[in-house]
Amino acid sequence: MIDPTHQIFWFASRAFGIVAMLGLGVSVAVGLAMSGRLIRRPGVTSKLRHFHESVTLVTLGLIVAHGGLLLFDSYLRPGLLALTVPFTLAYRPLFTGLGIIAGWLAAILGLSFYARKRIGARTWRRMHRFTIVAYVLALVHVIGAGTDVRSPWMLALLTGLTAPIAFAFSYRMLPASPIPSSGANI
C-alpha cells in the first residue's frame, strides 16, 4: 500500500475539472434550449435563465479551482504563467493549451453578461453565440489531456453531455422549414 497524500492536489484538480465540465455542459445546454426556444413556457424560461446564470458562475469558479489547485501539485509544478498562458505548460502542451483557451473563453463570454449594457445587447448576443466553441475546446482538452477519458463513466458523462448539446445546437442553427417561404399564397 502506498501513501497518495502527495497527490491530493492532483486528484482534487481532476475532480474539480470533471465537475467543471459537467457544469459547462449543463450551462451550454440550458442556454441553447432557451435561445432555440425549445422551452417556451414563460415561467419556466425565467427560472431557466436564473439557473443558467447561476450554473455559469459556479462553473467559472470550478474552472479556477481546477487550474489553481495544480499550482500546489508537486509533480507538475506549473507556474501561474503556465496555467494562464496557452501552450506554455510542459504537460501535453497542445491539449492543456486548448483547455486554457476554453477557460478564458468561458470567463469572457460568461462575464460579458454583466457588461451587456456597456457593450450593447446586440454585440453581447453575437459574442454569446461563441460559447459553444468554449465547450468544444473543453471537450478536446478532456479527451487529449484528461487521464480519466478511458474510463467508461467518463465516456458516459461526455456522451450524455455532448448529445443533448449537439441536438440543441442543431435545432438552434437549422432553419424552421427546409423550403424557404416565397411569400406567395396559392
Partner 1 sequence: MAMTRTRQSTNPRRHARSLYRTVLSLAIAAVVAAWLPFTVMYVTALHKPPAGVAAISAPGATRSTTRVITTASGATRLVTVNGTPAGQAIVPTPVVTRDS
Site of interaction with partner 1 (CB under 8 A): 1-4, 7-8, 10-12, 14-16, 18-19, 22-23, 42-43, 46, 50-51, 53-55, 57-58, 61-62, 74-77, 90-91, 147-148
Closest distance to partner 1 from the beta carbon of 106 (Å)? 15
Give which of 21, 39, 48, 22 is closest to 171, Cα–Cα: 39
Closest distance to partner 1 from the beta carbon of 162 (Å)? 19
Residue with cell 445587447: 121
Separation of alpha carbons 15 and 143, rounded Å: 15
Torsion from C-alpha of 79, 81, 84, 88, nearest 10 degrees: -90
Closest distance to partner 1 from the beta carbon of 108 (Å)? 19
Nearer of residues 85 and 166 to partner 1, judged by Cβ: 85
Amino acid (one-letter) located at 165: I
Nearer of residues 142 and 169 to partner 1, judged by Cβ: 142
Task: Give 123's DSSP letter.
Answer: H
Report residue 153: phi and psi, to 5°. Answer: -70, -35
Nearer of residues 88 and 171 to partner 1, judged by Cβ: 88
Closest distance to partner 1 from the beta carbon of 125 (Å)? 18
Nearer of residues 69 and 139 to partner 1, judged by Cβ: 69
Cell numbers describing residue 111: 462575464
Instruction: Calculate ∠ Cα 71-63-7, nearest 5°.
Output: 40
Nearer of residues 2 and 186 to partner 1, judged by Cβ: 2
Closest distance to partner 1 from the beta carbon of 114 (Å)? 11
CA 172 to chain centre: 18
